[in-house]
Amino acid sequence: MSRRHILAVASLAAASLIATAVTDLPTRLIWNATASAPIGFYIIETADALDVPELVALIPPEPLERFMVERGYIGRGVPLLKRILGLPGQRVC
């Protein structure tokens, strides 16, 4: 590969990285490694409304996240996948 081709590929790669860093992407691919949902890749999209029994991705509140990180359950900043079991106004037994 010529120097010109290498420069073109490197420039395209850099432009792609910059574009994804400054663009608000509504869809994201995450890997679930916890038992809260089947292990594997999940596509996460922003939703206007939620419904039972959809999966949601969430970062636990700081004290719970610290507890889980210290015990090796998850890494810091790793989202959990959880099913919605009830919404405001519904009763869950």
Retrieve residue 6's tokens.
């290498």
Across the chain, what does the average pLDDT equal?
87
Report the Cα 55 to chain-centroid distance in Å. Answer: 12
Q: Give the mean pLDDT of 22-45.
A: 83
Spatial separation of the C-alpha atoms in residues 40 and 59, rounded to whole Å: 18
pLDDT digits 0-9 by tens, 47-77: 899 999 999 999 999 999 999 999 998 899 8
User: Among the ranges 9-13, 19-23, 44-48, 84-88, which has the highest mean pLDDT value?
Assistant: 84-88
Domain locations in the chain as residue ranges: 25-93
pLDDT at 35: 84
CB count in 10 Å sphere of residue 93: 3
- C-alpha count within 13 angstroms, C-beta hemisphere, residue 36: 19
